[in-house]
Structure 1
């Protein structure tokens, strides 16, 4: 009876396992499909957000004295023109600034940064290249999502470690690019950039042939005939 009970129990367990597998298989496949879709959607959101921020810049340290948008726009334009004057660039027009607003809630004893959206990407890049001309206590950064800011914070520590090892590197958006330092090849003391090679010297020192013009040859032959 014990053996029969064990056999029956084994059969029941096997049947239950088969039944559960049949019921769970569609759920497992659906879950895997949903995970792929979520991954694709996250990638799309990532690139859409990156594209939406590509013309944005964040100005930090600009005194918060404005009361409405037109005053804020005038302040931002003044800061950008200050950079253009010092860097000998074109002054900024209002149409080159699509939007400008303070980030976060207004609090006492704290200056909120300004998110500036520019209409021309090359103007944005131009400002980043000349950010050293910004007024004192004012600086500019690129507009990154929170997730990217966290990643960049971690990458900065790794970059510091790599630089201490004597390597070269930089952070490109949310990636760390590291490369070995290229050692300058020492020129051999016997080599000189101004010394021509043997073949060149031979060609240069080769005596020139005195080629006589066919016109003069013809003339000389006529003279010879006349003399005869």
Structure 2
């Protein structure tokens, strides 16, 4: 009797587990069916956000494309016009570049003014890309001034983070530089060829021992010839004395 009850209980337990599994699967299918459009919409939103970020980055780059930042200009001007005249003079005297009012789109100091602190950088926006390129090409001619490009804070942080990798690649002998916020690495084939030539045996190293061997051999031959001549003279003397 107890065995029958146990058997019935086991059957009921198995049936309940089966029904629970079927119910769970049905619930999960309904949940997945409900979530499917939400997941798809979320995926599309991520794509749209990514595209918007790319467009925003492009617009920021485009906005700053003709800008340069000039460091080291003493902050003595009392107006924007005086600042422009000062820059105009610096460009003419140190770079040999003429700067007129129609070349400039905007000019201003960056940051808050603090007494006793070093002069604030000057943001110079130009109307033409070729004028900006001309300044950047000749910027090494500045004496106490240096020029940088106008990057966003995010780009500046990325460039800073790439500096260790840049130094590492250059230490390897590769040609490496940072282009905007990307590290560009090119293998220096000239350095590799030079290294291979240094590692391989030099042809002169092989020729030199042969020359030395030839000289030694010729020297030995001369010595042997002298010995032979001495021996020959000695034999002649002995034979002559024997005949006498």
Give TM-score scaled by structure 1 length: 0.73
Alignment partner, residue 38 of structure 1: 49
SS where residue 177 of structure 2 aligns? strand
SS where residue 15 of structure 1 aligns? helix
Answering whether residue 133 of structure 2 is matched by residue 125 of structure 1, we say yes
Counterpart mapping for 1:29-178 below 5 A: 29-85=40-96, 89=97, 91-108=98-115, 109-136=117-144, 138-178=145-185
Distance 2:76 2:45 in 1: 50
Distance 1:180 1:21 in 2: 51
Structure 2 spans left out of the alignment, 5+ residues: 1-11, 195-244
CA shift for structure 1 position 32? 0.3
Alignment partner, residue 209 of structure 2: none
Distance 1:145 1:51 in 2: 12
Distance 1:181 1:125 in 2: 27
Which structure exhibits the higher relative contact order, with contacts defined as CA atoms closer than 8 Å and separated by 6 or more residues? 1
CA shift for structure 1 position 42? 0.9
CA shift for structure 1 position 112? 1.4
Distance 1:134 1:171 in 2: 22
Distance 1:82 1:71 in 2: 17
Alignment partner, residue 190 of structure 2: 183
Give structure 1 regions of 4+ aligned residues with deviation exceeding 4 angstroms.
none
Q: Which has the higher helix share?
A: 2
Structure (1 or 2) with the larger CA radius of gyration: 2
Equivalent of 1:15 in 14, 26, 30: 26
Alignment partner, residue 191 of structure 1: none
Structure 1 spans left out of the alignment, 5+ residues: 187-228
Give TM-score scaled by structure 2 length: 0.69
